Structure 1
Amino acid sequence: MLNPQITRQVFQIALPMTLASLSVPLLGLVDTGILGHLSSDNFLAAVAAGSSVITLLFWLFAFLRMGSTGLTARAWGANDGRRCKELLFQSLLLALLLGLGLIIFRTPIVSLVLHLISPSAEVMPLATEYCLIRIFAAPATFMTYCTIGWLLGLQQARTTLAVMLIVNLANIVLDFLFIIGFDWNSRGAALASLTAEYLGVFTALALVSIKLRTLDHNWQWRQLGSWHQYREFFTVNRHLFVRTALLLFTMTFFTAQGARQGDAVLAANAILMQLLLLVAFTQDGFAHAAESLTGQAIGARQTERFLQLCYNSTFWGFVIALVATAFYWLLPHTIVSLFTSLPAVTSAALVYWPWLVALPLVGLICFMADGVFIGSGKTHAMQQTMFAAVLLVFLPVWFFARPMGNHGLWLAYLSFLASRSLLMGWLFYRYTRRHQWTAHKT
């Protein structure tokens, strides 16, 4: 039985965060839909390759969001307002430095990663242009990660929703203006994202300044120079960085192998992956609720409430996966036609469609467990399970399934999600049985 009070608390965060999370794949679907109806599939392939590079580079630093949420939630649960404020400024300083560093070294970094993806000769210059425009958003994107994570840790879901909606809805509007109105094609998609990211960070900082006034003021700026205060922050974020790097290696490897099978397969895989992300981001509303609420419960050392929150959020994640599976199973032609009118891309997407139908339920546990493990501070376990899933499952399955072509690639990805779900499910059982959730080890 679901506890009504726990359900209400979960939904108070999950619903705003679901709307916020849905705006992210919606943006990708709009990009795909607009570019997929242009005269050439080169523009769609360029954004698929270019956005994979930017996703890799930016989401390598997504620990700024995840680490901020878990640490802040636990500090909030322990009624430590000073630590909450300290975590915000620590993360913002690090975000600014990392963003500026990425801009300084943009040319060799973009060239290296695009070379690994190896798009066709026609697509390469378009993808390079896209990346070199988007990368200037790095400081804004990283600082937005920090503010969103911090606000979520304080259970400010509506404020977080406002920030994410402003970024993504502005991006969608600018997509139509730049791509269709100004006929800038893939370059227009990059400029739209760049503009929206800076609008978002200014909005986020303004909203955060309001919340800061309600916290403990026993904190001074010179404490940012006390490097011993960063120990917990860097330990957690180191684990999350490695875990995210492995995840993004998998996604980039997947894109690269699709690109080697032609632009039509690359574009079709992009459509299917966007539709999988639509499910994942819908579930993310409940995973984010788990991050914030379980973190607070661990900070307050309320183990029973923690477990109720875990079961509740996972139940609703299962409902979402079940609904998505039904839609994808029943409406393949209708859904594909929304994103492309190109015959070669449509045909390829339908050939590989059964893999998409299977993935939401296979990935359910790992998608939801991410929120629980971040909130509880079990980030080292997240890192280790990702190592096992990538090195012992994904790559070996891909290697032996290469004769199957793109089907083998999708089999490897399904195996990757299945292994993560099994490993994280087993760890959850083990930690629960041994009463280890309130231990401070990461």
Structure 2
Amino acid sequence: MSAISFKNINRLAIPAIIAGIAEPLISLTDIAIIGNVDKNPIEALAAAGIVGSFLSAIIWIVAQTKTAISSIVSQHLGANRLHAVKTLIPQAIYFNLLFSIVIYATTAFFAEAIFSAYNAEGLILSYSEEYYQIRALGYPLTLVTFAIFGVFRGLQNTLWAMKCSITGALVNVVLDFLLVYGVEDYIPAMHLQGAAYASLAAQTTMLVMALWFFFKKTPFHLKLSFNINPQLKGLLLMAANLFVRTAALNFAIYLANAYATGYGKNYIAAQSILMNIWLFFSFFIDGYANAGNAIGGRLLGARDYNSLWELSKKISKYSVFIAFILMGICALFYNEIGLIFNKEESVLVLFSSVFWLVLLMQPVNAIAFMFDGIFKGLGEAKYLRNLLLAATFLGFTPALLIADHFGMKLYAIWIAFFVWMLIRSSALVIQFRRKYLKKEI
């Protein structure tokens, strides 16, 4: 079967979509449930949104080893040289574990200072710190799981990660209801803390399942060799470039949340809903990017550049199609969507006034995410790093500052994101055509 057939692409993309939306679905569930509590719902929603954004920022940065692992494994699979990376996998996984413990220790200690930098104060700051101290315990669980998922994707299998992610999401949803609201005479209502413990339980479930698939279904093991694999340097260098890239990405998200918090509690509550929906869409479309990552790395390993170009065209069409479907569904239920997350009229008015702009971006996002995935599979981490730095500091930041100067508030934030995505998508398409379209074997 052709590596770029519709069936083969969707064999990877559809499970990757389901697996990919599990993580933002956990955050969306937290926000929907927390935003509807009786006690201080706006402050609780704002805190969950701020902490969720920070957690995503940290996880995206340090989980780039997943992408690096996937790229290296898929390239070695295409070249029929998997034996060369057998000692690399446990070294990369243990690196993720140690790194995540360091991240937890440093950020948990400075939690109050971190969320003060988001302009949080008073009850929102108190809630944010309380919620984060529990959620941060999940760093080692999530980062080891992600590293294992990178192995699965490199082996051209996204089904195992999907099964882990679905189970984790279900555990989270059930425990969210039980722990946040409580069960009379049995479980006390735990408010924000309940949502945090539900997330921890979901992350633990996913790790246990991922380890089972890793040992039972892959040719790899966790026996650590102290002879450093020659590929480890390349993997860490690729991951380091992706760290910087993702740090730039998350600087944009941090800046957006900091400005929204500065506008007032209703603005950051609305921004929390908008951002989490945007992230949900991005993970949804990212399923095809993951397929591009896995297949692209394999085709590069086999030096099949013609198929690589065909792959980019096909996945672009599928990604944009998915984006239009998401836009249509949200347009149909435009006013109802906000009510899922919050019932406060002041928040819903702000949400509805800007949501159309988030929807309008989706086809542009689809192209950017798709080529981003292919470039990761090709090991083009340095170019991705430079592009994100340029898009963030020469596109997003000036656009936000200018629009904010004219008092556009939430519009300023989302116009800046639109500019950001336009730069990313157009630059990736141009670079791919220039470098790979006419490349000879």
TM (normalized to structure 1)?
0.93
Distance apart, 1:206 and its partner CA: 1.6
Q: 1:132 to 1:225 in 2, by over 3 A?
A: farther
Match for residue 198 of structure 1 among 204, 216, 240: 204
How far, CA to CA, are the matches of 1:150 and 1:121 in structure 2? 44
The AA in structure 2 aligned to 1:25 is P
Matched, 1:113 2:114: yes
How far, CA to CA, are the matches of 2:433 and 2:231 in structure 1? 33
- The answer for the alignment partner of 1:247 in structure 2 is 249
- The answer for the alignment partner of 2:263 in structure 1 is 261
Distance apart, 1:56 and its partner CA: 2.0
Match for residue 207 of structure 1 among 203, 213, 229: 213
- The answer for the alignment partner of 1:418 in structure 2 is 422
Q: 1:221 to 1:336 in 2, by over 3 A?
A: closer
- The worse-fitting range, judged by mean Cα deviation, of 106-115 and 170-179 is 106-115
Match for residue 432 of structure 1 among 409, 432, 436: 436
**Alpha carbons 1:78, 1:299 under 8 Å: kept:** yes
How far, CA to CA, are the matches of 2:104 and 2:7 in structure 1? 43
Mapping 1:9-28, distance limit 5 Å: 9-28=8-27
Q: 1:65 to 1:227 in 2, by over 3 A?
A: closer
- The answer for the alignment partner of 2:185 in structure 1 is none
**Alpha carbons 1:290, 1:309 under 8 Å: kept:** yes
Mapping 1:60-209, distance limit 5 Å: 60-181=61-182, 182-209=188-215
The AA in structure 1 aligned to 2:10 is F
The AA in structure 2 aligned to 1:265 is Y
The AA in structure 1 aligned to 2:285 is Q
- The worse-fitting range, judged by mean Cα deviation, of 323-332 and 373-382 is 323-332
Distance apart, 1:227 and its partner CA: 6.3
Corresponding residue SS for 1:338: helix
Q: 1:5 to 1:396 in 2, by over 3 A?
A: closer
Corresponding residue SS for 1:183: coil
**Alpha carbons 1:66, 1:374 under 8 Å: kept:** yes
Mapping 1:345-356, distance limit 5 Å: 345-356=347-358
**Alpha carbons 2:76, 2:82 under 8 Å: kept:** yes
Unaligned runs of 5+ in 2: 183-187
The Cα offsets for residues 405-428 of structure 1, whole Å up to 9 and x where unpaired, read as 221121111111111111111111
The AA in structure 2 aligned to 1:345 is V
How far, CA to CA, are the matches of 1:36 and 1:227 in structure 2? 48
- The worse-fitting range, judged by mean Cα deviation, of 387-396 and 226-235 is 226-235
Distance apart, 1:262 and its partner CA: 1.2
Corresponding residue SS for 1:401: helix
The Cα offsets for residues 79-115 of structure 1, whole Å up to 9 and x where unpaired, read as 1122342332121111111112123223344233212
Q: 1:334 to 1:103 in 2, by over 3 A?
A: closer
Distance apart, 1:357 and its partner CA: 2.1
TM (normalized to structure 2)?
0.93
| Alignment coverage as a number of residue pairs | 431
Distance apart, 1:225 and its partner CA: 3.6
**Alpha carbons 2:391, 2:424 under 8 Å: kept:** yes
- The worse-fitting range, judged by mean Cα deviation, of 349-358 and 327-336 is 327-336
Corresponding residue SS for 1:260: helix
The AA in structure 2 aligned to 1:399 is L
Distance apart, 1:220 and its partner CA: 7.3
How far, CA to CA, are the matches of 2:150 and 2:4 in structure 1? 24
Match for residue 306 of structure 1 among 305, 308, 323: 308
The AA in structure 2 aligned to 1:96 is L
The Cα offsets for residues 4-23 of structure 1, whole Å up to 9 and x where unpaired, read as 96111101111111111222
How far, CA to CA, are the matches of 2:436 and 2:72 in structure 1? 21
**Alpha carbons 1:279, 1:320 under 8 Å: kept:** no
- The worse-fitting range, judged by mean Cα deviation, of 162-171 and 60-69 is 162-171
**Alpha carbons 1:17, 1:157 under 8 Å: kept:** yes
Corresponding residue SS for 1:155: coil
How far, CA to CA, are the matches of 1:123 and 1:275 in structure 2? 21
Match for residue 277 of structure 2 among 269, 275, 278: 275
**Alpha carbons 2:65, 2:235 under 8 Å: kept:** no
Distance apart, 1:433 and its partner CA: 4.0
Distance apart, 1:339 and its partner CA: 2.1
How far, CA to CA, are the matches of 1:125 and 1:155 in structure 2? 44
Q: Which runs of 4+ in 1 moved over 6 A?
A: none
Query: CA-atom RMSD, angstroms?
Result: 2.0
How far, CA to CA, are the matches of 2:108 and 2:224 in structure 1? 35
How far, CA to CA, are the matches of 2:355 and 2:161 in structure 1? 34
The Cα offsets for residues 114-153 of structure 1, whole Å up to 9 and x where unpaired, read as 1211213111111001111111111111101100111011
